[in-house]
Structure 1
Amino acid sequence: MSASEPAEPDQLALVAAPGRRRFRTREPEPVADERPVASVLVDVGLPHLDRPFDYLVPASMDDDAVVGARVSVRFAGTDHDGFVVARKDSSDHDGKLARLRRVVSAEPVLAPEIVALARAVADRYAGTVSDVLRLAVPPRHATAEKAASPEPPAAPERPEPGGWAEHVDGVALLDALAGGGAPRAVWNPGPAADWPDLVARLVATTLSAGRGALVVLPDGRDLELASAALTALLGAGSHVELAADAGPSTRYKRWLAVRRGAVRAVVGTRSAAFAPVHDLGLVVLWDDGDDLHAEPRAPYPHAREVLLLRAFQAGAAAVVGGFARTAEAEQLVATGWARPVTPSRPAVRAAAPRVHSSGDDHEQARDEAARTARLPSLAWRTARAGLGRGPVLVQVPRAGYLPGVACGRCRTPARCTACSGPLVLGQADRPPRCAWCATEYPSWRCGECGHGALRATVVGVRRTAEELGRAFPGVPVLLSRGEAVRSSVDAEPALVVATPGAEPVASGGYAAALLLDGTALLARTGLRAAEEALRRWLRAAALVRPGTMGGEIVVVADPGAPAVQALVRWDPAGFAGRELAERAALHLPPAARVAELTGAAADVDDLLMHLDLPDGAEVIGPVPVDDGARAMIRAPRAAGTALAGALRSAAGIRSARRTGGSVRVRVDPVDFG
């Protein structure tokens, strides 16, 4: 394809004449002698324009308009940024080609393999390459480009296997990496495993073979742990961290060091999945069930799928790890794409804490202190005994104080009279307020029965800490939550109350852990409710001492629930196999592919009208939602690529006709159901 334009402004000269003005055309600047045509990916974001366009390269830009450079071009009457993806001798376009406006930067920031990856991701998620490249290539900082990158470090010696020796096929995985192979594994470490050290040994083994490695983690806490383990094993300067909180300039400088080949090991959060690592030999994704791996911007890719596509295209090894196993990871094992790597059962039994379940609220009547703290008696007794040996972890699923309240008499949920939003209690000495519009209700009355008292329907982490402080007087209560996360606590007795993902590491491990409100976790709507509950529990349980050292866990949930049984047996693989079988029987992801369409009702209907569905696909809906309408399309797994292609084609037809509003398209959303 090409872009043709009339003569550009710099080709025109204003000539003064008595009584009138006229223009005289200058001779255009000659084009480059060699490969005078540049194929440019223009940042327009419209589905029907999702392809490179050809431009002429002026001779003055010949040296700078290299493949991967940022350029500015004229497109549809306005200037747009873009990337040069190829230089060639001629164009297929028969008409006149427009010229590059300018070279924004001669730094070749867009590697050819990232272009291919962006195309594959766009095809997988029914998006455009431009949208993917906004995620893949950080914004330019000229100062960072002028700075020189460090010299690449020498390849390290192959490390000892460490904890991998306790894994079935763990040493074989390292041997394959050391030999330059491309093994694929789904890895679930056992209780109390030092997973950052295990990840570091995977990376170091890959580097020792002269290849690059890329590790993607869900959040900054895990990033710090993995980075510290790499520094401890390989020394400073062996890797870079890529995360948004590093700041735009620092992150771009680090990213450039990777692109220039100065660093061959990267650890980062989800956007690091596109890091241009040279000679990529290994990709690692830790805790793939964490929803932070799902990109909230179009085309909404998941880091797991991005890394698996990279591994396939680059011929690299791939390791998907986590204490829990998702149904998607189990699908990789079930299809033979990857092999499971887990500790032996004797190793699991030796390291696992003792797990008890308690779902009987009537036990609270046996102990006044237990009733005060909303704890089943078993949980209260376990906490009291654990405090005699060290710190006790209390995991609370909800943040805040009282994030859910209802009428104390008729149990009707308390809602705002202005906007119908739910009322919450932010702290004990403040009136309830609306969670949506922040209207306060100092003298609230139930609209159903007129009663003026409220009761808690959901209890948050701050209220739980307050109740535990009353139930265990004299015991320090430490909070760790989203706005104030503790990284570690010492071995002294204390109650550590934390939300999922904010649990500090305890020196020597926790003596006990209480996993509260498990019944509410399992009762949430959504396809992944049980999977997510088990993931949270296993991450907390991995911080507890082995049962041989007195480590105990109480999970407050139905003892017969499959997720609870999987925790008791420490069997994430068995649970994932059951989940996958049930979803396959119901034609749900990952056994099937699902696309969600959201927008104005007329726009959703219009897109569906232009959609050429593949065989076996079915449309569910549309149904009204708060922001318009939503339709779901379900297709067999084998038809997933065809479904994404059909969605892109339909979106292209609508964008070319410039009719109607936009429709958000999400393929395999993590919050499906």
Structure 2
Amino acid sequence: MTEQAATLPIARVAIDSPLTHLDRLFDYLVPADLADAAVPGSRVRVRFAGRLVDGFVLERAERSDHDGRLAPLERSVSAEPVLSPQIARLARAVADRYGGTLADVLRLAVPPRHGRTETAAVAAGKAAVAAAKAGGDSGGQRPPGEWARYPAGASMLAALADGRSPRAVWWAPPGPAWPEMIATAVAAAVRSGRGALVVVPDHRDVDRVEVMLVEAVGRAAVVALRAGLGPAARYRAFLTVLRGQARVAVGTRAAVFAPVADLGLVVVWDEGDELHAEPLAPYPHTRDVAVLRARLEGAALLVGGFCPTAEADGLVRAGWAHPLVLPRAEVRALAPRVEATGSDEEYARDPAARAARLPSLAVRTARTSLADGAPVLIQVPRRGYQPSLACADCRRPARCPHCQGPLGRPASVGPPSCRWCGRPAAAWHCPACEATRLRASVTGDRRTAEELGRAFPDVLVRTSGRDGVLATVPAEPALVISTPGAEPVAAGGYGAVLLLDGWALLGRPDLRAAETALRRWAAAAALARPGGQGGRVVVAADAGLPPVQALIRWDPATFTAREADERAELGFPPATRIAAVDGTPAAVTELLDAARLPAGAEVLGPVPLPPPSRSTGAPGGEGELERLLVRVPRDQGGALAAALHAARGVLGTRHSTSGLRVQLDPQVLG
């Protein structure tokens, strides 16, 4: 018989299992030889259903509610308490909000163990803790900088420095000042003796913010958590935060779970970026996790961007956060001059502008900027060469004869090929009119660079996109072609920014199309010089459209409020919460039958899913897939998540969940 620990002999363990009906804690006996190692937050191995599985000890107790005989812990993987109580509570709250399991969230929150890294010298860690505290506390008060332009900016910094926890949604000013403004807010929180966490969309943003944070609070106090780090470096950075060797963490999506001690401030930058949406179950969004964490730990929260989403605006409408909006006089001083090619004045001056991809206004603006010695940024919504083709005669979209996928041309030479199956279509003919000629219905960044190279033969052309992202460009005449999110920063700002193919963003069959278009346009336009210094932005879209008008006036706050009002009238998020259930028809029907949905739930569908969904994360493999939507008022979102979680548990006992994906608050609703 196993000799049990003398004190707290019961360990409550969260096992690593994807099965929903096992989403609870299990009691195990702590052997005497593991009493010191099996501490709360440590990794263990236990025997479950006849096999060894990983798990975390969440707590130790004197007695168990289980009447039967308890199995002992098999072994301790590590005595390092990698799961802090705060992160354990956060993980449980995230799982409950999204109808997922604790195990799935813990896989996102705690990186895999790296033994050699974990056994690093403890003495070095203690020295780093002392250095971080000394460096952070001796930083002195920073001037408010650009925060002084906001009526409530100085008071927010004062509240952070006094140890209070203000919550705000921040509409950032045009220009490159946002990393420095984040660093100033973090420095104020650190002066109060607390830690801070900053979450940004990608590694280039991490680099920009890290530089400013090091300047504000010192190198020893800052650690960067990047998605691209290797196993050892990732785990080392995680332990640096866990052990208190760094008081400030900055990173991408998963960094929102970083175990920062005495957390005083959470910052989420550009929360509308698609990179903040986790593609793994239970599909949490960084913004929502940050809100939960701020509530649980009593921390301040700053959700910011050039164009915050309607969901962020909902925090203000609920009275939970305050708005930080730049006064109009300050906007006029910082924003570039924005013009639309689709205005009546431009159509009168250039009748061909209705059909031209690069109207005369854009060409004139680019030439003026280049003549002044400044670079020009051209944003193109699509990457590649000609990602979409159509029949040249009847304009019907060109489809693959084999799988009916869309045809595209990956390069200037060679036949078109299918974007789904990759097969070339050298002998394509239109099934409607029998024509054999193709035309580009969408032009990518590589084709755009080729066209502009011919239009401006003596000008240097740079590209920034998936094949190679530029961080910065020098202040010299050049054309910089970029896809959204890959725009490099120009020294001194761009003289002109051209936003091409506005229809490609605005015409997407997506609830967030207009919001996303404005956010991407604003992010590029913010890199231009202020209008007083000659900075100009040209957007190729109808001047009368609300997102275009919001960009022209640089008034994203009004646009977001209007967008939220319209969605509320139609019953769309954030006024409601929606669950998307994807899977085979049999699996979707079985889940719906097992779910006890809230009284106000509205079931929409099911409808067939298009074939590309099989290659973008939908379950089921081969065969027909369909989607079911369940919509409830926002105050019933928790009940909906609980109902779906319970239904998946019922199906799990029948081994019927393999063909299902359940996602609450999906970012894309076609």
Provide TM-score, normalisation by structure 2: 0.94
Shift in CA distance, 442/368, structure 1 to aligned 2, threshold 3 Å: farther
Per the alignment, residue 259 of structure 1 pairs with: 242
Counting only pairs closer than 5 Å after superposition, residues 578-593 of structure 1 correspond to structure 2 as 578-593=562-577
Say which of 153, 161, 165 aligns to 1:178.
161
Does structure 2 conserve the Cα–Cα contact (< 8 Å) formed by 1:600 and 1:661?
no
CA offset digits 1:513-541 (Å, max 9, x no partner)? 11011122111111000000000011011
The question of 1:50 aligning with 2:23 is answered yes
Deviation at 1:445, TM superposition (A): 2.6
Does structure 1 conserve the Cα–Cα contact (< 8 Å) formed by 2:341 and 2:353?
no
The question of 1:405 aligning with 2:389 is answered yes
The question of 1:276 aligning with 2:259 is answered yes
Say which of 72, 90, 95 aligns to 2:63.
90
Shift in CA distance, 413/77, structure 1 to aligned 2, threshold 3 Å: same
Per the alignment, residue 320 of structure 1 pairs with: 303
CA distance in 2: counterparts of 1:298 and 1:35, whole angstroms: 34
Per the alignment, residue 376 of structure 2 pairs with: 392
Say which of 300, 303, 326 aligns to 2:286.
303
Aligned to 2:627, what secondary structure does the other structure show?
A: strand
The question of 1:624 aligning with 2:600 is answered no
Does structure 2 conserve the Cα–Cα contact (< 8 Å) formed by 1:372 and 1:470?
no
Does structure 2 conserve the Cα–Cα contact (< 8 Å) formed by 1:370 and 1:380?
no
Aligned to 2:44, what secondary structure does the other structure show?
A: strand
The question of 1:653 aligning with 2:650 is answered yes
Provide TM-score, normalisation by structure 1: 0.93
CA offset digits 1:311-340 (Å, max 9, x no partner)? 000000000000012100111111111111
Per the alignment, residue 508 of structure 1 pairs with: 492
Deviation at 1:569, TM superposition (A): 0.8
Per the alignment, residue 429 of structure 1 pairs with: 413
Per the alignment, residue 454 of structure 2 pairs with: 470
Per the alignment, residue 241 of structure 1 pairs with: 224
Does structure 1 conserve the Cα–Cα contact (< 8 Å) formed by 2:342 and 2:354?
no
Most deviating of 33-42 and 340-349: 340-349
CA distance in 1: counterparts of 2:451 and 2:352, whole angstroms: 10
Most deviating of 154-163 and 459-468: 154-163
Counting only pairs closer than 5 Å after superposition, residues 523-542 of structure 1 correspond to structure 2 as 523-542=507-526
Q: Look up the equivalent residue of 1:665 and give its one-letter code.
A: V
Deviation at 1:371, TM superposition (A): 11
The question of 1:639 aligning with 2:645 is answered no
Say which of 85, 88, 94 aligns to 1:115.
88
Does structure 2 conserve the Cα–Cα contact (< 8 Å) formed by 1:363 and 1:376?
no
CA offset digits 1:465-497 (Å, max 9, x no partner)? 111111122111111112211111111111111
Aligned to 2:221, what secondary structure does the other structure show?
A: coil
Shift in CA distance, 640/551, structure 1 to aligned 2, threshold 3 Å: same
The question of 1:353 aligning with 2:350 is answered no
Say which of 590, 601, 605 aligns to 2:589.
605
Shift in CA distance, 661/488, structure 1 to aligned 2, threshold 3 Å: closer
Deviation at 1:232, TM superposition (A): 2.5
Per the alignment, residue 171 of structure 2 pairs with: 188
The question of 1:419 aligning with 2:403 is answered yes
Q: Which has the larger radius of gyration?
A: 1
Per the alignment, residue 549 of structure 1 pairs with: 533
Counting only pairs closer than 5 Å after superposition, residues 11-30 of structure 1 correspond to structure 2 as 28-30=1-3
CA distance in 2: counterparts of 1:480 and 1:366, whole angstroms: 33
Shift in CA distance, 192/305, structure 1 to aligned 2, threshold 3 Å: same
Say which of 535, 546, 558 aligns to 1:574.
558
Per the alignment, residue 109 of structure 2 pairs with: 136
Aligned to 2:128, what secondary structure does the other structure show?
A: coil
Deviation at 1:449, TM superposition (A): 2.4
CA offset digits 1:401-458 (Å, max 9, x no partner)? 0001111112121111112111111111221111122212334332332322211100
CA offset digits 1:100-126 (Å, max 9, x no partner)? 000011111011111110110011000
The question of 1:559 aligning with 2:543 is answered yes
| Structure 1 residue runs without a partner (length 5+) | 1-27
Does structure 1 conserve the Cα–Cα contact (< 8 Å) formed by 2:342 and 2:353?
no
Q: Look up the equivalent residue of 1:632 and give its one-letter code.
A: L
CA offset digits 1:209-235 (Å, max 9, x no partner)? 100100000111111111111123333
Counting only pairs closer than 5 Å after superposition, residues 137-176 of structure 1 correspond to structure 2 as 137-148=110-121, 149=125, 150-152=127-129, 153=132, 154=134, 155=137, 156-176=139-159
Shift in CA distance, 429/360, structure 1 to aligned 2, threshold 3 Å: farther
Does structure 2 conserve the Cα–Cα contact (< 8 Å) formed by 1:432 and 1:440?
yes
Most deviating of 655-664 and 624-633: 655-664
CA distance in 1: counterparts of 2:468 and 2:263, whole angstroms: 36
The question of 1:201 aligning with 2:184 is answered yes
CA offset digits 1:151-175 (Å, max 9, x no partner)? 2212232322111111120111100
Does structure 1 conserve the Cα–Cα contact (< 8 Å) formed by 2:109 and 2:257?
yes
Deviation at 1:372, TM superposition (A): 12
Does structure 1 conserve the Cα–Cα contact (< 8 Å) formed by 2:221 and 2:245?
no
Say which of 322, 325, 331 aligns to 1:339.
322
Q: Look up the equivalent residue of 2:195 and give its one-letter code.
A: G
Aligned to 1:245, what secondary structure does the other structure show?
A: coil
Say which of 420, 428, 444 aligns to 2:428.
444
Does structure 2 conserve the Cα–Cα contact (< 8 Å) formed by 1:365 and 1:371?
no
The question of 1:226 aligning with 2:199 is answered no
CA distance in 2: counterparts of 1:475 and 1:295, whole angstroms: 40
Say which of 3, 8, 21 aligns to 1:35.
8
Per the alignment, residue 662 of structure 2 pairs with: 665
Please give the root-mean-square deviation of Cα atoms over the aligned residues, in Å: 1.8
CA offset digits 1:548-591 (Å, max 9, x no partner)? 11111110101111000100111111000000000100110000
CA distance in 2: counterparts of 1:42 and 1:254, whole angstroms: 25
The question of 1:287 aligning with 2:264 is answered no
Does structure 2 conserve the Cα–Cα contact (< 8 Å) formed by 1:360 and 1:376?
no
Shift in CA distance, 35/227, structure 1 to aligned 2, threshold 3 Å: same
Per the alignment, residue 11 of structure 1 pairs with: none
CA offset digits 1:39-59 (Å, max 9, x no partner)? 111111211111110101111
Deviation at 1:363, TM superposition (A): 6.8
Shift in CA distance, 120/660, structure 1 to aligned 2, threshold 3 Å: closer
Q: Look up the equivalent residue of 1:290 and give its one-letter code.
A: D
Counting only pairs closer than 5 Å after superposition, residues 210-225 of structure 1 correspond to structure 2 as 210-225=193-208
Does structure 1 conserve the Cα–Cα contact (< 8 Å) formed by 2:156 and 2:166?
yes
The question of 1:460 aligning with 2:458 is answered no
CA distance in 2: counterparts of 1:122 and 1:131, whole angstroms: 8
The question of 1:489 aligning with 2:473 is answered yes
Deviation at 1:649, TM superposition (A): 0.9
Shift in CA distance, 363/472, structure 1 to aligned 2, threshold 3 Å: farther
Q: Percent identity?
A: 56
CA distance in 1: counterparts of 2:48 and 2:344, whole angstroms: 67
Most deviating of 537-546 and 660-669: 660-669
CA distance in 1: counterparts of 2:513 and 2:232, whole angstroms: 39
Does structure 1 conserve the Cα–Cα contact (< 8 Å) formed by 2:357 and 2:501?
no
Equivalences, count:
646
Deviation at 1:359, TM superposition (A): 2.2
Does structure 2 conserve the Cα–Cα contact (< 8 Å) formed by 1:373 and 1:464?
no
Does structure 1 conserve the Cα–Cα contact (< 8 Å) formed by 2:603 and 2:631?
yes
Q: Look up the equivalent residue of 1:134 and give its one-letter code.
A: R
